[in-house]
Amino acid sequence: MEKQEGLWLFHLESPARPMELEDRWQICLPVTGWGRVTSPALAATLSRGQLLLTPPGSPPELEFETGSQWYQLFLSPDLMEEAAGKIHLELPGEPSLLRVPPEGENQMGLLFGLLAGEESSQAAHAQRAREYLLGLILVWASRAADARRHPAGGGDLIPMVLDYIEEHYGETLTLEQLAGVFYVSKYYLSHLFSQRTGISLFRYLQQKRLMEARQLLAQGISPSEACQRCGFGDYANFYRAFKQQFGQPPRAFSGRESGR
């Protein structure tokens, strides 16, 4: 499918990276739902407010829960370098996950939506509109990169909570414990987390654990060990949640990678 030179944009409900785009830069923006990104350099959850930058030749594995939606933007190296150079965005050498500043979350979704509308347009000034929209998208990417390098005022609460969950999901975690770690009330944390991410903290933590457990099962780890490693503790609860999420019991996923 021929598009503006060097630019392809897909609004998807399932992971895809056409083979002919393997040599392109990829920018992935989750819109609803959540998923997981896995590469030799990166293994993390993806949710609203995050931006994944992937350089040519090193596509990560992307997996999203059913019903999720996200944008995948593919750019030729020349176009990406030209656009990034104009705003002095330092391009990563490996897949990099950025958190968009809170005030930029809605703007990013709007920019991608507008770019999708202009992508194949033949209307007057359409190419100039695409250039401006791409530039604004990369401006927010640059701000996210700056925020990660130089967090102001100790950083924003929810990104810190997400980082903490990423490191401690295998341990016993409750809303009360997390609120205590960050010196806020559990009611404030619960409300702010749902407001910022679109899902409850409990739901996010459970989904994170289920995705990690399925990854372990595919590597040949036993269901009982995966249950313990991912912080479920009680196997009956793990079994019930896993089957409800994936439609099959944990043992059905055991060793899938090694069996390919």
Q: What is the mean pLDDT of residues 5-20?
A: 55
144/168 same-domain check:
no
129/43 same-domain check:
yes
Instruction: Specify the higher pLDDT residue, 5 or 179.
Output: 179
Decide if 26 is inside a domain: yes
Last residue of a domain, one of 128, 149, 170: 149
- Sheet order of strands, 7-12 included: 7-12, 69-75, 25-32, 50-54, 96-99
Q: In this predicted structure, what is the pLDDT of residue 70?
A: 86
How do 69-75 and 7-12 pair as beta strands? Answer: antiparallel
> Out of 17-31, 128-142, 189-203, 220-234, which region has the weakest mean confidence (pLDDT)?
17-31
Decide if 76 is inside a domain: yes
- Assess whether pLDDT exceeds 80 at residue 162: yes
168/141 same-domain check:
no
Q: How far is CA 69 from the centre of its chain?
A: 11
Decide if 1 is inside a domain: no
Phi then psi dihedrals of residue 68, to 5 deg: -70, 155
128/14 same-domain check:
yes
231/141 same-domain check:
no
- Assess whether pLDDT exceeds 50 at residue 93: yes
- Assess whether pLDDT exceeds 60 at residue 111: yes
pLDDT digits (tens, 9 = 90+) for 36-86: 888 877 777 788 888 999 999 877 888 887 778 888 888 889 999 999 999
Last residue of a domain, one of 149, 178, 209: 149
Total length of the chain: 260
Q: What is the mean pLDDT of residues 97-106?
A: 81
- Assess whether pLDDT exceeds 80 at residue 260: no
118/188 same-domain check:
no
140/41 same-domain check:
yes
pLDDT digits (tens, 9 = 90+) for 139-153: 999 988 877 665 544
Instruction: Specify the higher pLDDT residue, 94 or 2.
Output: 94
Q: In this predicted structure, what is the pLDDT of residue 39?
A: 80
Domain CATH code at residue 186: 1.10.10.60
88/166 same-domain check:
no
133/175 same-domain check:
no
Domain CATH code at residue 101: 2.60.120.280
89/163 same-domain check:
no
106/126 same-domain check:
yes
Q: How many domains does the chain have?
A: 2
187/249 same-domain check:
yes
Using CA atoms, how far apart are residues 41 and 58, in angstroms rounded to an integer?
10
Q: Global pTM?
A: 0.64
- Assess whether pLDDT exceeds 90 at residue 155: no
H or E segment and range at residue 27: strand 25-32
H or E segment and range at residue 42: strand 42-47
Domain encompassing residue 235? 157-253
Decide if 177 is inside a domain: yes
Q: What is the mean pLDDT of residues 30-37?
A: 81
Decide if 260 is inside a domain: no
Decide if 2 is inside a domain: no
Decide if 47 is inside a domain: yes
Decide if 259 is inside a domain: no
Last residue of a domain, one of 149, 172, 192: 149
Structural contact between residues 248 and 257, judged by C-beta atoms closer than 8 angstroms: no
DSSP string, 205-249: HHHHHHHHHHHHHHTT--HHHHHHHTT---HHHHHHHHHHHHSS-
Instruction: Specify the higher pLDDT residue, 12 or 134.
Output: 134
